[in-house]
Amino acid sequence: MILVTGGLGFIGRHTVRALLDLGESCVLVQRRTAEVPEDLAGERVVVEQADIIDPSALPSVGERHEITGVVHLAGSVPWPPGAHEPVDGARKAIASLLNVVEAARQWGVSRVGVASTVGVYAGVAEEGPLQEDVPLSMSSGHVIPAFKKIGELLTDHLAGVTGLDLVNYRIAAIWGPHGHAASPFFAAPALVRAAALGTEPDLAPLYAPAHAEDAIDMCYAKDCGRAIAALQLAEVLNHRTYNVSSGRATSNAEVLAAIRNVVPDTRVDLPAGGSGRRLWLDTTRLAQDTGFRPAYDTERAVADYVSWLRAA
């Protein structure tokens, strides 16, 4: 049974679905009481209430279930801003990761996967592809990549001293069902939602204005879940860190073209221009060690997302 922290979150839901499709059973750990969601009802899924900041919470879950692997997707980050007193927030973020690793060590699990982010690459290159062994900056302009870098250093250290197979997932820009209506990092979720529902796109949360030529490595949520499941279940992994992404840069212009093919009467658009930078993640390691290939190109992803939004 695979324990998934954050299993009812955005990426967690898709990871659990992919694990189930591969024949696994899952226990999902949630801080608040939660029921098994309708789309997973009747499956091999159990939801346990446990706060992973509490060092006794996860061992008690292990007393009720035979845990064979862990996928740690719950945020080991003091987020959102202002939600925690700074020092206490940092302490809790690091403690949650340490508690997961300690529980996994006690259980003798085969592998622990830990969510990191594409944001750790900020400032290291102007163009892609970005490979996992590129030297990273020791500073961060945002709390999420800052704590993900800390997490990667901790997992590397702990893997060496505990013998656990600890694996970092550097996850790209993810979009699709169960995701936020708008992202501060890229425009695609808001554009697709507006086209599906016939509304104006809410681009206010973006950190910078969006243009048609802006490009980012976007990975559809279902592909992201499949990639994480493949890494969790691979017989042998040859690296400590893997990029989880589509392996290509997708521009807003490509997204808009796909939207117009799927929703011909849409008026969703963006102004021309943009930086022209094309950053994407190299997925050679992921493909070589798991055989993973994305199943969703841009148009298929847009069509699936529009269908889900209209049915939700």
User: pLDDT truncated to tens, each residue of the chain (312 aa)?
Assistant: 999 999 999 999 999 999 999 999 999 998 887 788 888 887 899 999 999 999 999 999 999 999 999 999 997 787 666 667 889 889 989 999 999 999 999 999 989 999 999 999 998 887 789 999 999 998 888 889 999 999 999 999 999 999 999 999 999 999 999 999 999 999 999 999 999 999 999 999 999 999 999 999 999 999 999 999 999 999 999 999 999 999 999 999 999 999 999 999 999 999 998 877 888 999 999 999 999 999 999 999 999 999 999 998
Structural domain contains residue 290: no
Distance, CA of 244 to CA of 168 (rounded, Å): 10
Structural domain includes residue 286: no
Quote the pTM value.
0.95
Contact between residue 288 and residue 240 where contact means Cβ atoms under 8 Å apart: no
- Decide if 26 is inside a domain: yes
Q: How many domains does the structure of the chain reveal?
A: 2
| Statement to judge: residues 301 and 239 lie in one domain | no
Residue 131 lies in a domain: yes
- Residues spanned by the domain of 128: 2-173+220-244
142 and 228 fall within a common domain: yes
147 shares a domain with 159: yes
20 and 164: one domain? yes
- Residue 158 shares a structural domain with residue 22: yes
* 93 and 161 belong to one structural domain: yes
Residues 6 or more apart in contact with residue 140 via CB below 8 angstroms: 119, 120, 122, 146, 149
Half-sphere CA count of 246, side-chain side, radius 13 A: 22
Judgement on whether residues 23 and 59 belong to the same structural domain of the protein: yes
Give the whole-angstrom CA distance, residue 118 versus residue 61: 31
